């Protein structure tokens, strides 16, 4: 059970980190092409990150049963 809580805590911290990184990136990059590039990078990163989160939550679900 404690391992599951640690994984949930880690995933929440990573989510907050990515959110604040997105806000910082929007204010930091003012040129349009840099902003579009940042959005494309974030979309790719979010796709990979969401796959990892789904795997973590499935592992937690199986451990709790």
Q: What is the pLDDT along the chain (65 residues), one digit of tens a residue?
A: 566 666 666 666 666 667 777 777 666 665 666 777 777 877 887 777 777 777 888 888 888 77
What's the half-sphere exposure (Cβ side, CA atoms, 13 Å) at 11? Answer: 17
Q: pLDDT at position 3, please?
A: 65
Rg of the chain's alpha carbons, rounded to an integer? 15
- Give the integer Cα–Cα distance in Å for 18 and 7: 16
- Give the integer Cα–Cα distance in Å for 43 and 57: 21
pTM here is 0.34
Q: pLDDT at position 30, please?
A: 58
């Amino acid at each position: 059970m404690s391992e599951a809580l640690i994984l949930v805590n880690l995933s929440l911290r990573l989510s907050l980190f990515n959110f604040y990184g997105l806000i910082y990136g929007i204010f930091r990059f003012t040129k349009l092409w840099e902003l579009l590039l940042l959005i494309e990078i974030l979309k790719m990163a979010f796709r990979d990150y969401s796959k990892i989160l789904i795997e973590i939550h499935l592992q937690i679900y199986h451990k709790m049963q």
